[in-house]
Structure 1
Amino acid sequence: MDQIRQGWYSEMCELWPGQSFSLEVKEVLFHGKSEFQDVLIVQTTNHGRALILDGIIQCTEFDEFSYQEMISFLPLCAHKNPKNVLIVGGGDGGVAREVAKHPSVEQFVQVEIDAMVIEQSKKFLPFMAKGFESPKLTLIVGDGFEYMKNHQNKFDVIITDSSDPIGPAVNLFTENYFKLLKDALRPNGIICSQAGTLWSDLPHVKETIENCQKHFPVVKYAVSSVPSYPNGQIGYLVASLDETVNLTKPVHTFAKESVEELQLRYYNDKIHEAAFVLPNCFNKALWN
């Protein structure tokens, strides 16, 4: 709340020093402190409703679909038959909304540690939280680490929809976490994790990729445009246990009619392929 001044919310964080992103606030809809983090939901003038955790913007109604669709459909469309899916985090319900759309998904489990985020998203962010209404979903309030320790060799795809590496999400970028992901996957399983932005935190992105490479033979990094995130871009770490898979080529594609039916506003097969094309300087920094 102390970051709202003269009607503007300004996001300032040590992860992207020397810059700030501001949203004009019409109304504070909710503010509370859970056991894990500070939770703020505001109505903005131009970006609709926004969820802010520990001072960092997680999503805005204006552009959330880019992130939710990409973190979900990049792994789902790269896997031949993603029947069973696990979502770690994602308390706003946006990833659940997208996973439920994929025709191959038969059931999925979501493990979110913070009940307050779920409850308040259902109340104030129904455009995302409607994902919790899917009959395919089993929703668990708990620790994703502990859940995966007790559910090994179970999932075709695991999606980690985490906040940035501070607070309760800090452990979701470590080598130990990727080992847990590997053990919870079925053979040929695929993961996708929120992986930060190249422009602001390149060393962290590189470290996360290296942590993943210790347990996955195929690791790629993709990006999408999200204007309300730092530098207008977010990254996705996509990895597979199948050494032969080409993660940059979707095995599931959707005709124009299906795109409309699934209400995909950002993702398509061409976007999938293009998302893995990085500027020369970042290719050199990440892979050489």
Structure 2
Amino acid sequence: MNTLKTNWFSESCEMWPGATFSFEVKKVLHEEKSQFQQIHVFDTTSLGRVLVLDGIIQCTQKDEFSYQEMISFLPLCAHKNPEKVLIVGGGDGGVAREVAKHPKVKEIVQVEIDAKVIEVSKKYLPFMAVGFDSEKLTLHVGDGFEFLKSHKEEFDVIITDSSDPIGPAVQLFEENYFSLMKKALRPGGIVCSQAGTIWNDIDIVTSTLRYCKNQFAVAAYAYASVPTYPSGQIGFVIGSLDGTTKLDTPNLVFSREEEKAMNLRYYNSDIHKAAFVLPTHVKYLLA
């Protein structure tokens, strides 16, 4: 159902039936089928460059920073000292770009399953792929699920930047995955995973948060505004091994000068707190 007709691309998916999101395409910059998924990069009229995997929008140049900053800084700033960070997925480089900015992060390990996404992002999405240039980063091409099995009590924070639970990303939304992350964390460790939206994926939000709560002492759901994602939002499930962690209260608060120096365009300490404030019906459903 995902089509490119008369210079317009329309995204539709079984996860949000009966609705589409469309944008005007100036040029198809790249198209190929990797071992794992169909990859497109478009140059568009109003969104800049857009990465699409298996017909689903992953990021647009116009608003990608809101997602990348929030999935990174929510867990990093909730942690007291996030020195070593694991990124699972994130083949466009955006999360690595943000994690590398955090002043307490000393080492970043990233595992991305699809080498082609990395290659394409470096060529066509350099504003995100700049994250791969960080001296803090060690990049592995492989299965994050399998990687976790051989790494115990090693990381302070684990960030899972996955596509939606269709195809190769399905196992990243299951309880076994949260169990593996738990074992790979140091004491007091924190995880953060993409978890869908309350408007289109409430069943996914509910089950993913439940799996996280089953494995971690405290867990919560937060969200950010991303206009080009379905419903204009994306959510994150965050869990901590330390039962005293206040996930909605940042341990590190940046000054305006620090925000400017890090080129933060969405995240700040007030946004951090507000991200956990949920609509009434969702608040009680998730409780």
Q: Deviations over 1:110-136 (max 9, x none)?
A: 000000000000000000000000000
Q: Deviations over 1:84-110 (max 9, x none)?
A: 000000000000000000000000100
Cα distance in 1 for residues equivalent to 2:59 and 2:51 = 6
Greater alpha carbon shift after TM alignment, 151-160 vs 2-11? 2-11
How far 1:278 sits from its partner (Å)? 0.4
How far 1:3 sits from its partner (Å)? 1.1
Cα distance in 1 for residues equivalent to 2:56 and 2:193 = 18
Cα distance in 1 for residues equivalent to 2:105 and 2:45 = 37
Task: For residue 13 of structure 1, give the secondary structure of its aligned residue in structure 2.
Answer: coil
For structure 1, the residue ranges without an aligned partner over 5 or more in a row are none
Cα distance in 2 for residues equivalent to 1:185 and 1:257 = 32
Q: Deviations over 1:116-160 (max 9, x none)?
A: 000000000000000000000000000101111111100000000
Aligned counterpart, 1:205: 205
Query: Normalised by the size of structure 1, how large is the TM-score?
Result: 0.99
Cα distance in 1 for residues equivalent to 2:9 and 2:286 = 33
Please give the residue correspondences for 1:83-232 in structure 2 after superposition, counting only pairs within 5 Å: 83-232=83-232
The one-letter code sitting in structure 1 at the alignment partner of 2:172 is: L
How far 1:285 sits from its partner (Å)? 1.6
Cα distance in 1 for residues equivalent to 2:284 and 2:2 = 40
Task: For residue 214 of structure 1, give the secondary structure of its aligned residue in structure 2.
Answer: helix
Task: For residue 28 of structure 2, give the secondary structure of its aligned residue in structure 1.
Answer: strand
Aligned counterpart, 1:263: 263
Query: Normalised by the size of structure 2, how large is the TM-score?
Result: 0.99
Q: Is the Cα contact below 8 Å between 2:2 and 2:11 reproduced in 1?
A: no
Q: Deviations over 1:31-67 (max 9, x none)?
A: 1111111111100100000000011000000000000
Aligned counterpart, 1:53: 53
Quote the sequence identity (%): 63
The one-letter code sitting in structure 2 at the alignment partner of 1:253 is: V
For structure 2, the residue ranges without an aligned partner over 5 or more in a row are none
Task: For residue 111 of structure 1, give the secondary structure of its aligned residue in structure 2.
Answer: strand
The one-letter code sitting in structure 1 at the alignment partner of 2:281 is: C
Q: Deviations over 1:176-230 (max 9, x none)?
A: 0000000000000000000001101101110111111111120110011000000
RMSD between aligned residues: 0.9
The one-letter code sitting in structure 1 at the alignment partner of 2:23 is: L
How far 1:264 sits from its partner (Å)? 0.1
Task: For residue 201 of structure 2, give the secondary structure of its aligned residue in structure 1.
Answer: helix
Task: For residue 198 of structure 1, give the secondary structure of its aligned residue in structure 2.
Answer: coil
The one-letter code sitting in structure 2 at the alignment partner of 1:8 is: W
The one-letter code sitting in structure 2 at the alignment partner of 1:25 is: V
The one-letter code sitting in structure 2 at the alignment partner of 1:280 is: T
Aligned counterpart, 1:274: 274
Greater alpha carbon shift after TM alignment, 70-79 vs 1-10? 1-10
Aligned counterpart, 2:34: 34
How far 1:2 sits from its partner (Å)? 5.8
Cα distance in 1 for residues equivalent to 2:77 and 2:286 = 24
Task: For residue 116 of structure 2, give the secondary structure of its aligned residue in structure 1.
Answer: helix
Aligned counterpart, 1:249: 249
Cα distance in 1 for residues equivalent to 2:204 and 2:18 = 17
The one-letter code sitting in structure 2 at the alignment partner of 1:159 is: I
Task: For residue 121 of structure 2, give the secondary structure of its aligned residue in structure 1.
Answer: helix
Cα distance in 2 for residues equivalent to 1:152 and 1:41 = 37
The one-letter code sitting in structure 1 at the alignment partner of 2:130 is: K
Cα distance in 1 for residues equivalent to 2:244 and 2:201 = 30
Report how many aligned residue pairs link the two structures.
287
The one-letter code sitting in structure 2 at the alignment partner of 1:136 is: K
